[in-house]
Amino acid sequence: MTALGELNTRFGLEDTLRFEVGIGGFVRGVVGTPTSSGHVYLHGGHVTHFQPAGQKPVLFMSSLSHFAPGKPIRGGVPICLPWFGPLSGQPDAPAHGFARLHAWDVESTEKLSDGVRITLRLHATPSTNPFWSTEFQARFILTFTSTLTMDLQIKNLSNTTLRFEEALHTYLSVGDVKQVRVTGLEGVRYFSKVEGGAFAGSPDPITISGETDRIYLDTQSTVKVIDPSMNRTIVVGKRGSNTTVVWNPWVNKSKAMPDFGDDEWPGMICVETCNNTQDYAVTLNPGQTHSMVATVGVEG
């Protein structure tokens, strides 16, 4: 039996979940239920599609995304782990860690009354990364119903303290980012990578009028992306997360990214569920597990 055939025999769910060869030859799980449809690639444990019944797709995908070994997928929900951005003191380390570059295993699947649950797993191996040799186990539990629920669980399997950063780098599809209003982060202090400093949060909803790359600090709030041009509101909830990133590359940054279309920036905004920066990294004692959950749904 082929590896794909074995996946479908062990984990496929009649009429609701199958595994197939997707873009770039990578295997993906394809979800189709009365409540939603979705795709998750084993490469990076990467969700690339989520569409509740009666709605347009919720996740943005770049038309120029790489689907190649050793490269991350651009769009959907990349998993940033075990560091966010560059690794301090290690210029050769991959940006945002190794989790989005490696194949995850399917641990289990389950048919629910209103959807599907898929659990993926990643272990420390000699190939995970030479820059982070700590023994760990990561589980990514995906529940596709009318809402997408993503539960990233990290367990410390070593005999020493484990410290890591993490993010579910969620790309949301919008009609025109210049018209979007983002609520839920009013008055929240943030660090802006574009402006280069820390700022008090505005009492008004966030609007996008240029390159935006902000880490909102000490927040557990639900965020709403109000999109008048698509006549809907995307709701991003979370648990076990103390920072939220809001990002749009705008014009010049888009042109500088080879895996992102020059004119794609108006159709997306990232609202990322995170524990990033050293001040907000997660610390686990031996045997402990940390869970960070992001939910994505639609109103309107």
As a whole number of angstroms, the distance between CA 13 and CA 121 comes to: 19
Q: Percent of the chain having pLDDT more than 90?
A: 92
Residue range of the domain that includes 284 = 3-298
At residue 45, does pLDDT exceed 70?
A: yes
pLDDT in tens, 161-191: 999 999 999 999 999 999 999 999 999 999 9
Residue type, 208: I
In angstroms, the CA 165 to CA 79 distance is: 11
**Burial class of 60 by CB neighbour count within 10 A (0 to 12, 13 to 18, 19+):** buried
Calpha distance 193→196 (Å, rounded): 5
The domain tally of the chain equals 1
Check if the beta carbon of residue 52 is closer than 8 Å to that of residue 141: no
pLDDT score recorded for residue 90: 87
| pLDDT tens column, 122-163 | 998 887 778 888 899 999 999 999 999 999 999 999 999 999
Catalytic center residues: 169, 272
Q: Are the beta carbons of 182 and 248 closer than 8 angstroms? A: no
Rounded Cα distance between 19 and 260, Å, is 27
- 99: tokens are 């989790």
The model's pTM is: 0.97
Confidence of residue 216 (pLDDT cuts 50, 70, 90): very high
- pLDDT bucket at 76, cuts 50 / 70 / 90: very high
Please tell me the distance from the alpha carbon of residue 35 to that of residue 298, in angstroms, as a whole number: 12
Using DSSP, state whether 74 is helix, strand or coil. coil
Q: For the chain, give the number of residues.
A: 300
Which CATH number characterizes residue 259's domain? 2.70.98.10
